[in-house]
Amino acid sequence: MANRGPSYGLSREVQEKIEQKYDPELEARLAEWILVQCGDDLERPEPGKQNFQKWLMSGTILCRLINSLYPRGEEPIKKITETKMVFKQMEKISQFLQAAEEYGVSRGDIFQTVDLWEGKDMAAVQGTLMALGSVALTKDDGHYRGDKDWFHRKAKVHKREFSEDQLRQGRSLIGLQMGSNRGASQSGMVGYGTPRQIMRYDSPRHNGHQSNP
């Protein structure tokens, strides 16, 4: 884990709650998928949240993962460089996150770069990888590798398309449902901002009689 100062008070409580969401069993499944998806040249990480974070934090494996979901020559990240420079590693993580969103992962499922690089929320990292696996499985385009039971398929949206005539008829129907203002007038209406005159119920004017001067 990256060097960070100790947490105190409320921040410590928040961090503990975040850490409680981390799933060691899910960690093993995600590591297995990444190994299968990226190839045999990756070294399996030792179990444990800190080891999983250290395995991914350079961004290299994540970039290889998203590239593996595309046909050869169409990978979104063209050049993956090995480097120990902090800003370059964080840049690769950001590239992965952008590519994951373009691939189909919902923005709400995307973790923040510091969640991984500083280990602030590894549960969020797990969530993004789970969402990515689900999208890859749902696409069913031949690029997903691994057990199909590792992730759930997302529900597909069936988009309905209408002809121009159907759209024109729909607009006409909506217009009729809204009604018409023919025959309407402003009689009896009071202008905006004009004070209302309040009369007692037993007032002669209220009963249609004019009072004598």
pLDDT at position 18, please? Answer: 62
Domain boundaries, the chain: 10-150
Walk along the chain (213 residues) and give the pLDDT tens digit of each residue: 444 544 445 555 655 666 678 999 999 999 999 999 998 789 999 999 999 999 999 999 999 999 999 999 999 999 998 888 999 999 999 999 999 999 999 999 999 999 999 999 999 999 999 999 999 999 999 999 988 989 988 766 545 555 666 666 656 654 545 554 555 555 555 443 445 455 554 555 545 555 454
pLDDT at position 158, please? Answer: 45
pLDDT at position 152, please? Answer: 87
pTM of the model: 0.67
Nearest to 138 by CA among 110, 105, 101: 105
| Residue 127 vs residues 21, 26, 27, 186: alpha-carbon distances, Å | 10, 10, 10, 60
How many Å apart are CA 53 and CA 42, to the nearest integer?
15
CATH 1.10.418.10 fits 10-150, yes or no: yes
Instruction: Please name the residues in contact with 114: beta carbons below 8 A apart, sequence gap of 6 or more.
Output: 120
How many Å apart are CA 113 and CA 93, to the nearest integer?
6
In the block, tokens 């988009």 appear at 159
pLDDT at position 130, please? Answer: 95
pLDDT at position 185, please? Answer: 53
